[in-house]
């Protein structure tokens, strides 16, 4: 077998990626010679405001990378819009194979609806603010960390594009520290508190910080690990990463501490003043506004931003004027945008109906201020064009640019439409012989061929198989320069591109792991493989308590929350929850219990339907209540045992084993199943194949693969001639599931 040696030199391009992706950089360099690609690159510098490009999905990442690296728009980042967050993350990974990974970032959307009394997660907020900060004030210079430097591409799901943001978020200054810097520890603590970080005794989650003597622990929401800052007087002596699990220090954090705020609305004096004035106008959310007025951060307060901050703007306003706005799959983006607006309206209507039944009132500012939760996509498009930001789209279908509604009728004559010859590859679906023969045909025809796998293991295997079949190939862990991508040779390298593409005119072929196996690599599997959400604690949130609320202490029973206060005992100042109980003697004031905030796990909020009577501290009534509760629990357990005994004795329908059609359906799913999914799927099927009536509940967060399990079970039932009912909470979801 013959192979081509690879050069260890690196590309001299200003936007050249690292050596591990140089083969893909060579691919983009070769593809740029295609006349249609050259026309696209030229169009990025003229005055055309609407450009529709027909291009295969696998070729979009190299095309966007070429747009960044060419023309006068090099300094203006590209905003790449996708239909979903998962597509945004996959495109970010693919772009990192052609550009420096640090120059590409995802601008995530809130995982909460704007009218809900829920705040977005601190890591979501941190990532959003980090992107906005890098757009407004990127760090430059020889010593600057590329992770905080200028951005080349920002990938955003359409949900993040449609939701307005507070004006000036990019100007919020992160808390920064570096080794050798002189800064009083008290000033750093005040800065972290002002940036909405929570002071705790032990740092366990993003947004926490703790102080022990001259040691400051901080968990920035944008980092995988927290950092430990050691002070000697007012001098920062050392900054290290540390593990949450055992609190042990790790290696030196070379670039120090960079901690963006944890909330998109900070409790400034102007915000607090407006909250106090607005409390009378919005009685439904007066409880939240009054707490904000007192400087207390409450859950869901970000949804009040349109009424409390100086102004709202589109995320487009954070980009320079000549930045390109590029929609990937515009037809899916438009559908998703329409669904978001419809879903938000439907849930808001349901929340008002829920409030009429005595529950909390939703945060509905539209009826008061006239501000919409989401802008329509057409309005965002018009705003972009008025601000001088060209509006591009990358679609898979040549005729799609001519469909009614893709562009505004007034702009149809002005839109430039370019169709690239790059098209998708027919997947081989694990057929090794067919893949080898196709690669051999391209090599013998003088094509430039690149095979891209997600990991080095499969790359070595592909190289070995090609060698066994006498197909010329080279394994390039370090990669060649752009001039080294030779014809008549298969370049095997690593990367995460999703799907590949062919350019018949230029004789360029890109084959990915998805094309070879029919399934994406591990980097495209469900979220479960990336990071599962942490287990929620059952302790009460003191910021959600109002004076008079009933709470239950594990040892003392039902009491009434009075206030939070600070007390100094033995020289140590701590915060306490004050809980009032029934008086020990008639005619006396109620007894009070001071609970330190580090013992909140002993307190839960009372959730009974009626106003309870207060227990006495040290009395026997609480112990009697718990005894009665245990007796009722035993009674319920006995009833459950009888119920399940009857269930086990009842004969149900035993479904048959999997059919070939079942396996064909499951092989068609695009994502790699996680271990938990595989276990649950097997357990569900085993339950269905028993005669005992099935009783199983599948729990999981949004996007973790519950629907895939349900579809498998539904199909299995249909194979036995049974009917299946699918119940979902909204009309929109009914339509989506039906489609």
Mean pLDDT of 606-617: 81
Question: Hey, what are 449's tokens?
Answer: 């061929």
Asked whether the whole model's pTM tops 0.85, one would answer: no
Residue 18's pLDDT band, with cuts at 50, 70 and 90, is: very low
Question: Hey, what are 659's tokens?
Answer: 């059919």
C-alpha distances out from residue 130 to 140, 170, 264, 268, Å: 15, 8, 11, 20
Residue 407: per-residue pLDDT: 41
Mean pLDDT of 21-43: 75
Please check the confidence at residue 19 and state whether its pLDDT lies above 50: no
Task: Classify strands 257-259 and 175-177 as parallel, antiparallel or unpaired.
Answer: antiparallel
> Would you say 243 and 257 are in contact if contact means Cβ atoms under 8 Å apart?
no
**Gap between the Cα atoms of 595 and 556, Å rounded:** 11
Task: Give me the residue label for tokens 């299946």.
Answer: 724
Mean pLDDT of 480-492: 67
Question: Hey, what are 563's tokens?
Answer: 């206030």
Please check the confidence at residue 228 and state whether its pLDDT lies above 90: yes
Mean pLDDT of 99-115: 87
Q: Which of 396, 375, 384, 330 is nearest to 78 (CA)?
A: 384
Report the SS3 class of residue 137.
Answer: coil
> Would you say 70 and 412 are in contact if contact means Cβ atoms under 8 Å apart?
no
> Would you say 647 and 693 are in contact if contact means Cβ atoms under 8 Å apart?
yes
Task: Classify strands 391-395 and 50-54 as parallel, antiparallel or unpaired.
Answer: parallel
Question: Hey, what are 367's tokens?
Answer: 């009826």
Please check the confidence at residue 473 and state whether its pLDDT lies above 90: no
More confident residue, 480 or 672: 672
Query: Which positions ≥6 away from 141 have C-beta within 8 Å?
Result: none
Question: Hey, what are 268's tokens?
Answer: 């400034």
Question: Across the strands, what pairs with 567?
Answer: 574
Residue 516: per-residue pLDDT: 85
Question: Hey, what are 126's tokens?
Answer: 């941190």
Mean pLDDT of 80-92: 90
Query: Which positions ≥6 away from 663 have C-beta within 8 Å?
Result: none
The proportion of the chain whose per-residue pLDDT surpasses 70, expressed as a percent, equals: 87
Q: Which of 60, 65, 110 is nearest to 85 (CA)?
A: 110
Query: Which positions ≥6 away from 183 have C-beta within 8 Å?
Result: 177, 234, 236
More confident residue, 701 or 628: 628
Residue 6's pLDDT band, with cuts at 50, 70 and 90, is: very low
Distance in angstroms between the alpha carbons of the first and the last residue of the chain: 50
Full DSSP string of 208-238: EEEEETTEEEE--TT-SS-EEEEEETTEEEE
> Would you say 325 and 154 are in contact if contact means Cβ atoms under 8 Å apart?
no
Q: Which of 75, 83, 66 is nearest to 29 (CA)?
A: 66
Q: What are phi and psi of 111, to 5 degrees?
A: -90, 5
Task: Classify strands 215-218 and 227-232 as parallel, antiparallel or unpaired.
Answer: antiparallel
Residue 539's pLDDT band, with cuts at 50, 70 and 90, is: low
More confident residue, 83 or 539: 83
Residue 405: per-residue pLDDT: 38
**Gap between the Cα atoms of 115 and 348, Å rounded:** 7
Query: Which positions ≥6 away from 581 have C-beta within 8 Å?
Result: 556, 557, 559, 560, 590, 591, 592, 593, 614, 615, 616, 617
Please check the confidence at residue 11 and state whether its pLDDT lies above 50: no
Residue 713: per-residue pLDDT: 94
**Gap between the Cα atoms of 464 and 716, Å rounded:** 39
> Would you say 161 and 327 are in contact if contact means Cβ atoms under 8 Å apart?
no
Task: Give me the residue label for tokens 């095997």.
Answer: 492
Q: Which of 532, 531, 528 is nearest to 674 (CA)?
A: 528
**Gap between the Cα atoms of 535 and 701, Å rounded:** 12
- Label residue 207 left, alpha or beta by phi (over 0 means left) and psi (-120 to 50 means alpha): left
Residue 158: per-residue pLDDT: 93
**Gap between the Cα atoms of 190 and 169, Å rounded:** 20
Q: Tell me, rounded to whole angstroms, the distance of Cα 557 from its chain centroid.
A: 40
Residue 150: per-residue pLDDT: 87
Residue 674's pLDDT band, with cuts at 50, 70 and 90, is: confident
What's the pLDDT tens digit per position in 170-220?
888 899 999 889 999 999 999 999 888 989 888 888 889 999 888 999 999
Torsion of CA 184, 189, 194, 197, to 10 degrees: 150
Residue 370's pLDDT band, with cuts at 50, 70 and 90, is: low
Residue 139: per-residue pLDDT: 80
Residue 82: per-residue pLDDT: 93
CA-only gyration radius of the chain, Å:
30
> Would you say 343 and 114 are in contact if contact means Cβ atoms under 8 Å apart?
no
Residue 530: per-residue pLDDT: 36
Q: Tell me, rounded to whole angstroms, the distance of Cα 87 from its chain centroid.
A: 11
**Gap between the Cα atoms of 55 and 423, Å rounded:** 7
**Gap between the Cα atoms of 330 and 333, Å rounded:** 5
Mean pLDDT of 336-362: 78
Query: Which positions ≥6 away from 660 have C-beta within 8 Å?
Result: none
181-190, 274-283, 349-358, 419-428 — which is least confidently predicted? 349-358
3-state secondary structure 50-93: EEEEECCHHHHHHHHHHHHHCCHHHHCCEEEEECCHHHHHHHHH
Q: For residue 488, give the H/E element and its range.
A: none
Q: What is the mean pLDDT of the chain?
A: 81
Mean pLDDT of 657-663: 88
Question: Hey, what are 609's tokens?
Answer: 């339907």
Mean pLDDT of 44-51: 73
What's the pLDDT tens digit per position in 579-602?
999 988 888 888 999 988 778 878
Residue 402: per-residue pLDDT: 42
Mean pLDDT of 426-449: 86
Please check the confidence at residue 486 and state whether its pLDDT lies above 60: yes
Query: Which positions ≥6 away from 532 have C-beta within 8 Å?
Result: 704
Q: Tell me, rounded to whole angstroms, the distance of Cα 17 from its chain centroid.
A: 25
Residue 302: per-residue pLDDT: 85
Handedness of CA 405, 406, 407, 412 (dihedral sign): negative
Residue 13: per-residue pLDDT: 31
- Report the side by side order of strands in the sheet with 227-232: 198-199, 208-212, 215-218, 227-232, 235-242, 249-252
Please check the confidence at residue 413 and state whether its pLDDT lies above 90: no
Residue 610: per-residue pLDDT: 72
Mark 552-580 as b/e (b = at least 16 C-beta within 10 Å). Answer: bbeebbbbbbbebeeeeeeeeeeebbbbb
Q: For residue 335, give the H/E element and its range.
A: helix 330-356
Question: Hey, what are 250's tokens?
Answer: 């790790």
Helices (H), 167-294: 185-194, 269-278, 286-293
**Gap between the Cα atoms of 295 and 309, Å rounded:** 15
119-123, 249-253, 730-734 — which is least confidently predicted? 730-734
> Would you say 613 and 653 are in contact if contact means Cβ atoms under 8 Å apart?
no
């Amino acid at each position: 077998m013959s192979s081509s040696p690879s050069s260890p030199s690196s590309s001299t391009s200003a936007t050249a990626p690292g050596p591990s992706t140089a083969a893909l950089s060579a691919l983009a360099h070769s593809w740029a010679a295609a006349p249609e690609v050259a026309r696209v690159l030229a169009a990025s510098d003229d005055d055309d405001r609407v450009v529709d490009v027909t291009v295969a999905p696998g070729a979009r990442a190299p095309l966007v990378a070429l747009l960044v690296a060419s023309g006068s728009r090099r300094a203006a980042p590209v905003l790449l819009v996708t239909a979903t967050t998962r597509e945004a993350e996959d495109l970010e990974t693919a772009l990192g194979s052609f550009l420096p990974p640090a120059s590409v970032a995802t601008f995530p959307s809130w995982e909460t609806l704007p009218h809900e009394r829920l705040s977005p997660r601190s890591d979501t907020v941190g990532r959003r603010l980090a992107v906005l900060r890098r757009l407004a004030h990127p760090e430059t210079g020889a010593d600057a960390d590329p992770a905080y430097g200028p951005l080349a591409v920002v990938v955003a799901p359409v949900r993040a594009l449609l939701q307005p943001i507070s004006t000036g978020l990019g100007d919020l200054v992160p808390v920064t520290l570096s080794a050798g810097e002189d800064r009083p520890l008290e000033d750093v603590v005040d800065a972290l508190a002002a940036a909405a970080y929570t002071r705790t005794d032990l740092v366990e989650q993003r947004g926490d910080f703790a102080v022990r003597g001259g040691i400051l622990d901080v968990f920035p929401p944008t980092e995988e690990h927290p950092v430990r800052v050691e002070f000697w007087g007012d001098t920062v002596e050392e900054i290290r990463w540390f593990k949450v699990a055992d609190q042990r220090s790790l290696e030196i954090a070379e670039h120090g501490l960079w901690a963006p705020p944890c909330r998109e609305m900070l409790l400034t004096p102007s915000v607090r003043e407006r909250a106090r004035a607005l409390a009378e106008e919005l009685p439904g959310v007066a409880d939240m506004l009054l707490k904000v007025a007192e400087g207390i951060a409450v859950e869901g307060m970000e949804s009040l931003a349109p009424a409390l901050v100086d102004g709202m703007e589109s995320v487009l306003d954070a980009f320079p004027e000549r930045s390109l706005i590029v929609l990937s799959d515009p037809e899916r983006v438009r559908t998703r945008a329409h669904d978001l607006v419809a879903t938000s309206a439907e849930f808001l209507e349901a929340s008002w109906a829920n409030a009429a039944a005595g529950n909390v009132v939703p945060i509905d500012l539209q009826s008061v201020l006239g501000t919409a939760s989401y802008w329509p996509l057409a309005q965002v498009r018009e705003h972009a064009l008025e601000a001088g930001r060209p509006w591009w789209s990358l679609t898979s279908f040549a005729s799609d640019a001519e469909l009614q509604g893709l562009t505004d009728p007034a702009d149809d004559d002005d839109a430039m439409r370019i169709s690239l010859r790059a098209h998708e590859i027919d997947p081989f679906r694990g057929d090794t012989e067919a893949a080898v023969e196709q690669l051999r045909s391209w090599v013998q025809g003088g094509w430039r061929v690149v095979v891209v796998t997600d990991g080095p293991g499969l790359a070595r295997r592909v190289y070995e198989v090609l060698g066994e079949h006498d197909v010329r190939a080279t394994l390039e862990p370090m990669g060649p320069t752009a001039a080294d991508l030779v014809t008549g040779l298969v370049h095997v390298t690593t990367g995460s591109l999703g799907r590949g593409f062919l350019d018949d005119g230029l004789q360029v072929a890109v084959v990915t792991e998805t094309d070879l196996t029919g399934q994406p690599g591990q980097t495209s599997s469900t979220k479960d493989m990336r990071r599962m959400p942490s287990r929620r604690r059952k302790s009460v949130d003191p910021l959600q308590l109002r004076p008079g609320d009933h709470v239950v202490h594990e040892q003392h029973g039902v009491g009434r929350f009075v206030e939070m206060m600070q007390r100094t005992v033995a020289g140590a100042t701590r915060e306490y929850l004050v809980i009032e109980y029934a008086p020990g003697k008639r005619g006396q004031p109620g007894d009070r219990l001071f609970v330190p905030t580090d013992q909140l796990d002993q307190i839960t909020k009372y959730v009974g339907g009626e106003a309870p009577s207060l227990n006495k501290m040290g009395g026997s009534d609480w112990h009697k209540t718990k005894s009665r509760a245990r007796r009722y629990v035993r009674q319920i357990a006995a009833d459950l045992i009888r119920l399940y005994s009857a269930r086990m004795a009842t004969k149900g329908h035993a479904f048959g084993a999997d059919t070939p059609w079942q396996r064909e359906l499951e092989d068609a799913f695009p994502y790699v199943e996680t271990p938990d999914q595989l276990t649950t799927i097997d357990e569900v099927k085993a339950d269905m194949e028993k005669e005992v009536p099935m009783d199983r509940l599948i729990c999981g967060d949004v996007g973790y693969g519950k629907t895939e399990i349900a579809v498998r079970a539904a199909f299995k039932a249909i194979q036995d001639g049974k009917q299946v009912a699918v119940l979902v909470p909204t009309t929109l979801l009914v339509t989506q599931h039906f489609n």
